[in-house]
Amino acid sequence: MFVTPAYAQDAVGAPGGMADVFVQLMPILLLVLIFWLLIFRPQQKRLKAQQAMLAAIRRGDTVVTTGGLVGKVTKAV
């Protein structure tokens, strides 16, 4: 008598099982995918480009640091 029909219907429902777990995890997995695509993937591309640039440095190359200093490579390790 004091129980609302919506609450009463919820109590009678069958257990969801794996479908409920999947539905609950889907937004989290979607956020992780978006986070990976927007942050980690571009960062990995920049890191590969930087490593390739450092590997290509040879003696006598002119370089400019992020601070604006211009220099000439005398020894590449």
Identify any residues that bridge with 70 across adjacent strands, giving them in sequence order: 64
Q: Give pLDDT, residue 2.
A: 67
3-state secondary structure the chain: CCCCHHHHHHHHCCCCCHHHHHHHHHHHHHHHHHHHHHHHHHHHHHHHHHHHHHHCCCCCCEEECCCCCEEECCCCC
What tokens does 64 get? 């400019």
**Tens-digit pLDDT string for the chain (77 aa):** 566 666 555 555 556 677 888 888 999 999 999 999 999 999 999 999 999 999 999 999 999 999 999 999 999 88
In this structure, what are the phi and psi dihedrals at residue 70, rounded to the nearest 5 degrees? -105, 135
